[in-house]
Structure 1
Amino acid sequence: MNIDWAALGSVFGVSLAVTVALVGLFTLGIVGLSKHEAATSGAASATGGAPSTARAGAYVCFALCAAAVAYGIYLIVA
């Protein structure tokens, strides 16, 4: 059995980078929703933007996460 170590390392590197990016996007979505909640409840005085902007940004992050997962499933099935 012959293992192509370069291909294995490439797959490992790409999967690690995509995983970190996906977790980062999801984290940004959670932070955006928490900023929206803090702004609407009046708990934080300086949230760094309008509450609707934070919510919209969170929804964009979640949509990008869903698109990445859907693309991964497409690659597996196709």
Structure 2
Amino acid sequence: MLTSVAGSMAYMAPEVLMKKGYLSSVDWWSLRVVMYELLFSKQPFKGKTNVNLTQAILHEPLHFPEGLGN
């Protein structure tokens, strides 16, 4: 299990932010964040500070924009 924290906060998986150890599977989370940005031209979680962003990633549900595929 890895425990280091490095990278851009907006792309970090909850396991990384909780600092309890994680595996390489967290890379799938980061890839999904990038895919969300490519599809919707915005980040899936928002926060004005790192603390707010962390709380959003850990506790807020993910919302998808409406009207896709119409």
Higher helix share: 1
Normalization by structure 1: what TM-score? 0.29
Q: What TM-score do you get using the length of structure 2 for normalisation? A: 0.31
